[in-house]
Structure 1
């Protein structure tokens, strides 16, 4: 009995057979595509835009927009493009201009200067630091009175009216007599009766300060000597 031996099939023939089988299967399952029909009531003709101007859109009552009159600025245009600045007209000659920072309608109140009453006599108090004795003496304006080693000369003495706060001042010159007999200026300025230590005379032995002013001249005039 002879054994069956399969015949040898070349590879090229096997490839051709497989290609034929694939072609037959593709021809059996061919799918044909066709365009779908449009829905009922819809035209298949493409829309053509009109060549003329479009009709205005319908507006509901109350939705009409108010347009500004011709020539008026647009909203916000005033802030973006401010108009020209108004010209500044200087006041006429002889017209008082209002002070800076106030309106023309505001009333500016200027406080008058304090009234000073001149007096012909100044009254001083002198202290001897060695003995501790305090002496009061009067000096006429422009005259000189010596207290110890000091010479006191008032140049002015002012007071205030009774309706104003009390403020008695005197412009005074004080000289010191040295051992050689020379006069040395040690003080020149204003003395205040309410503040004796504000502007005081600096001397190791004697102190002098203003106490008040008198409207009458002193009873007895003494040009020199300790009071």
Structure 2
């Protein structure tokens, strides 16, 4: 007597995704119910449910309560972007990392930062401006706001020795992240910090994170000319 093979939700997800990609089910088509897929694949309904959740989160199908599951008419391809520890990023490129705290202060956030966090009332936050260097050359300048109601422990961190980037990645996991990436021409202020020419194309990352509904940090990072961000889906 042989045991039936056990299917993980990842295996089921990949099989359903393959049926969508090979046009077994096309854009707008309604998919079989979870119970039907479970019977077809010989697995638990909960396994199919978990697989469908992942497909929905990645923009390939749409789930409606009492309306079933359909293939998205305009599927969205998503990539996973992990927030890097800048020190490790620099060292992995074979360069020597150095960090410089430019200033930190308690300030009421600007209207733009409040909007990033989705807040309506101002409250004092910690503003941290710092420079990451690779082989003694400017690498990334970051201007960061940290909500102390969510991250009170940051007040006890010596940010002259450890970057807010590294401490937050290691100690304050997030559940939601808004990310904006764009290029703009460098200003005089950029040129002074990054030792670049005015008008150089600079890569900018704006990132805001939350744990639940509680805001953690809002960051604008400006990278030196030629910086590249790599991610895999």
The TM-score range, normalised by the shorter chain, is: under 0.3
* Higher relative strand content: 2
Q: Return the TM-score normalized by structure 2.
A: 0.21
Q: Return the TM-score normalized by structure 1.
A: 0.21
Which structure has the larger Rg?
1
* Higher relative helix content: 2
